[in-house]
């Protein structure tokens, strides 16, 4: 395991291209969900300086807060509620340019302005979501969609 992440400056694509192999090395043979989610959240927060990066894990009829980096957050989200619960229901990522314009958005931090949520899908079921908040409007673009989906799809294969 690497001692420290190499942080590069550059375009989002360049940062993700440098970060993804490092995340894969960081996870390595480790199978523990909490440990790996914790390190993935930390790596993304460190690389991009997002406001909040974390996971919500599906547990029966709720999603429950998992490892994260950033301000404190709500602990439980129901299916269909907020951005995370909508992604759980629809099984598709959502990019929210302005959280104030997303009906039912669950505000955990008043600093959050935009958000992206990516599902982790195993055997056609959403088992968790990766949620990232920014303190800037319209912070997420097609690069985030592409590379975060890549990270989540790869991560599920390690479980
Ligand atoms: N905004 C999310 C809730 C989680 S926090 O952003 C950490 C939502 O609407 O589902």
Cβ of residue 41 lying under 6 Å from some atom of ligand 1:
no
Cβ of residue 115 lying under 6 Å from some atom of ligand 1:
yes
Q: What would the mean pLDDT of 33-48 be, rounded to a whole number?
A: 96
Sorted by where each begins, the domain ranges of the chain are 12-157
Q: What's the 2 CA to ligand 1 centre distance in angstroms?
A: 31
Phi and psi angles of residue 65, each rounded to the nearest 5 degrees, phi first: -55, 130
- Residue ranges with strand state E in the chain: 52-59, 62-69, 76-78, 94-96, 114-122, 125-134
Q: 25: number of CA atoms within 13 Å, CB side?
A: 11
* Spatial distance between the Cα atoms of 138 and 59, rounded to a whole number of angstroms: 31
For 103-150, write each residue's pLDDT tens digit.
Answer: 999 998 999 999 999 999 999 999 999 999 999 999 999 999 999 999
* Spatial distance between the Cα atoms of 7 and 66, rounded to a whole number of angstroms: 25
CATH class of the domain whose range is 12-157: alpha beta
* Average pLDDT of the chain, as a whole number: 95
Q: What's the 106 CA to ligand 1 centre distance in angstroms?
A: 5
Minimum CA distance residue for ligand 1 atom 3: 106
pLDDT value at 56 more than 80: yes
* Spatial distance between the Cα atoms of 148 and 23, rounded to a whole number of angstroms: 12
Cβ of residue 88 lying under 6 Å from some atom of ligand 1:
no
Q: What would the mean pLDDT of 86-95 be, rounded to a whole number?
A: 98
Cβ of residue 77 lying under 6 Å from some atom of ligand 1:
yes
| Sequence-ordered list of residues with C-beta below 8 angstroms from that of 29, at least 6 positions apart, any chain | none
């Amino acid at each position: 395991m690497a001692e420290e992440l190499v942080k590069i400056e550059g375009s989002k694509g360049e940062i993700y291209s440098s970060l993804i192999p490092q995340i894969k090395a960081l996870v390595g043979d480790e199978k523990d969900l909490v440990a790996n989610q914790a390190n993935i959240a930390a790596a993304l927060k460190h690389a991009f300086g997002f406001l909040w990066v974390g996971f919500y894990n599906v547990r029966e009829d709720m999603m429950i807060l998992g490892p994260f980096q950033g301000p404190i957050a709500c602990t439980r989200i129901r299916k269909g509620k907020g951005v995370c619960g909508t992604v759980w229901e629809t099984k598709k990522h959502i990019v929210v340019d302005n959280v104030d314009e997303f009906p039912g958005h669950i505000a955990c931090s008043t600093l959050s302005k935009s958000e992206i949520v990516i599902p982790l899908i195993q055997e056609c079921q959403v088992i968790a979501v990766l949620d990232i908040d920014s303190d800037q409007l319209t912070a997420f673009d097609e690069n985030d969609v592409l590379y975060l989906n890549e990270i989540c799809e790869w991560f599920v294969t390690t479980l």
